[in-house]
């Protein structure tokens, strides 16, 4: 069992967490904030729990090398995904124009390259120009 000074009870008694171990130089009392979960020295963000990142050029280079984006977030992958989503949105427009669905169109931001299909001629042009009809 921990001392009351080692842990805090927050959120109306639903959360129990470690307390910051920093001590005031003026009042000699312990800090009343909860310690960060990732802090090795059991400190809050105000007393040194947060990391400010690398300072030296070597450290910055190591950090940049460690943060290489995976294949799903390269610019080429994001562009390909945006093109597929634009084609999917146009396919949804085609279904609405042809009367194949009574459902409302999907809301929200449309992907880059999206051209709305409003007429039957737009649908025909989409079908003939798109790669969806190719084997």
* Number of compact structural domains in the chain: 2
pLDDT at residue 48 in the model: 76
Do 77 and 109 sit in the same domain of this protein?
yes
Boundaries of domain holding 117:
71-133
Do 75 and 129 sit in the same domain of this protein?
yes
In a domain, 104, yes or no: yes
Crossing angle of helices 120-129 and 75-98, rounded to 10°:
140
Do 33 and 83 sit in the same domain of this protein?
no
In a domain, 77, yes or no: yes
At 16, list the tokens: 């129990």
Do 36 and 76 sit in the same domain of this protein?
no
Helix (H, G, I), strand (E, B), or coil: what is residue 58? helix
Do 79 and 43 sit in the same domain of this protein?
no
The pLDDT tens digits of the residues spanning 33-50 come to 888 877 777 888 778 756
Judge whether 35 and 26 are in contact, CB under 8 Å. no
In a domain, 58, yes or no: no
In a domain, 62, yes or no: no
Categorize the per-residue pLDDT at 93 as very low, low, confident or very high, splitting at 50, 70 and 90.
Answer: very high
pLDDT at residue 76 in the model: 84
Do 81 and 48 sit in the same domain of this protein?
no
Q: Which residues contact 51 (CB under 8 A, 6 or more apart)?
A: none
Strand partners, 108: none
Residue 15's H or E segment, with its range, is strand 15-18
In the predicted model, what is the mean pLDDT of the chain?
82
Do 47 and 6 sit in the same domain of this protein?
yes
- Please name which of 67, 54, 28, 29 lies closest in space to residue 19, comparing C-alpha atoms: 29
In a domain, 64, yes or no: no
The pLDDT tens digits of the residues spanning 51-82 come to 778 899 999 888 877 776 677 777 888 889 99
Do 33 and 80 sit in the same domain of this protein?
no
């Amino acid at each position: 069992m921990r001392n009351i000074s080692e842990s805090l009870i927050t959120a109306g008694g639903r959360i129990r967490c470690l307390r910051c171990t920093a001590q005031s130089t003026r009042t000699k009392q312990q800090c009343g904030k909860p310690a960060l979960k990732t802090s090795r020295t059991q400190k809050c963000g105000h007393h040194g729990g947060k990391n400010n990142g690398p300072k030296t050029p070597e450290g910055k280079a190591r950090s940049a090398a460690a943060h290489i984006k995976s294949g799903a977030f390269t610019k080429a992958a994001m562009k390909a995904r945006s093109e597929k989503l634009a084609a999917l949105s146009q396919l949804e427009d085609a279904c609405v124009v042809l009367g194949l669905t009574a459902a409302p169109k999907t809301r929200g931001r449309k992907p880059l390259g999206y051209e709305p299909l409003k007429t039957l001629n737009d649908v025909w042009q989409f079908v003939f120009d798109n790669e969806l009809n190719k084997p």
